[in-house]
Structure 1
């Protein structure tokens, strides 16, 4: 089974507690104005990677990371493959899982496949991005309408206070990757 991805970042300090690998899925139908990841919206872009290959990439990271953050796009648009990945992560590693979703948790709780994904998720940050609503960095939310849900006992709310919220990587080929909760002032 394949996931359609926009990017896979092996190490990040601005996508949740600790050092995390980050998976950006490709495809989002919400197109929230001001979204910091608009390149992840078009359904026809991105690249496919099998869950098996993605797990191999994750396993190569070994103990260098504390967890996996899955963002987008909208990860739940690929719920079947997402569920396969989450099951594999939880069955074969000790890594934590944090998912950002533009869907409200009340919606995620109504769809059986979405609920299955949430069973293997430690933290959910949900709700559409609203550019005119101030961020709530104490809840690690890019806009204050979004909500932080602790779905396991792995973390406490305090673990999301004072986290790094943005970082920039310059790849060997010169590509600039901006990661974290939002745009960095002065950089487009």
Structure 2
């Protein structure tokens, strides 16, 4: 079984509880206005990864990494593969699993496919709902006020704070990359324009907050 993948981060502290890996899948049927990862909306163009190869990569990470966050794109569009990946990882390491989805939790429970409900049943944390630019807010792990933060198991206690979780930046061979949910609308375009004026290459490693 293969997944269409856009990006992988081996370590982050801004996309869920603790130190986690992150996987951005390719393709989203929702096409939310203002999506921070607009390049991940088309289903074409991703890199095919087998579930076995992804599991091997994540299981090779150091013990400080204790979870994974699925973003994109729309993880529920590749639910079967992500559920299988979760099972492969958890057969070896008891990782926390979090996902972003533009579908609401209510919709997934009532109208989701069998594969979508299977993935949902494996999640510890879900950020749900479409990104709405007019409701952008500096919230923990999500981009707009309409989006919910659901703790679906007892693995994590709800954080009393609900503020901006931060951005992570890295520079590698003259290229800047970043991970996180920006605290202000329009961050990506402003950041990219600023980098261009300085002659700096950039790449995005943010989640699809739609």
TM-score (norm 1): 0.90
**Residue pair 1:3, 1:81 contacting (<8 A) in 2 also:** yes
Unmatched runs of 5 consecutive residues or more in structure 2: 193-210
Number of residue pairs the alignment of both structures matches: 186
Indicate the residue corresponding to 2:166 in structure 1: 165
Q: CA deviation at 1:37?
A: 1.1
Q: CA deviation at 1:91?
A: 2.5
SS of the aligned residue for 1:92 comes to coil
Distance 1:55 1:5 in 2: 13
Indicate the residue corresponding to 1:148 in structure 2: 149
Please show how residues 47-66 of structure 1 align to structure 2 within 5 Å.
47-66=47-66
TM-score (norm 2): 0.81
Of structures 1 and 2, the larger Rg is shown by 2
Change (3 A) 1:145 1:162: closer
Unmatched runs of 5 consecutive residues or more in structure 1: none
**Residue pair 1:80, 1:113 contacting (<8 A) in 2 also:** yes
Distance 2:23 2:143 in 1: 17
Deviations 1:13-67 (A, max 9, x none): 2111211111000001212111111121111111010010001110110312121
Over 6 Å off, 4+ runs: none
SS of the aligned residue for 1:18 comes to coil
Please show how residues 2-151 of structure 1 align to structure 2 within 5 Å.
2-109=2-109, 110=111, 111-135=113-137, 137-138=139-140, 140-151=141-152
SS of the aligned residue for 2:45 comes to coil
Deviations 1:92-142 (A, max 9, x none): 21110010011111221132221111111100111001111032514x321
Distance 1:161 1:145 in 2: 14
The alignment's C-alpha RMSD in Å is 1.8
Distance 1:49 1:171 in 2: 24
Distance 1:175 1:27 in 2: 25
**Residue pair 1:168, 1:178 contacting (<8 A) in 2 also:** yes
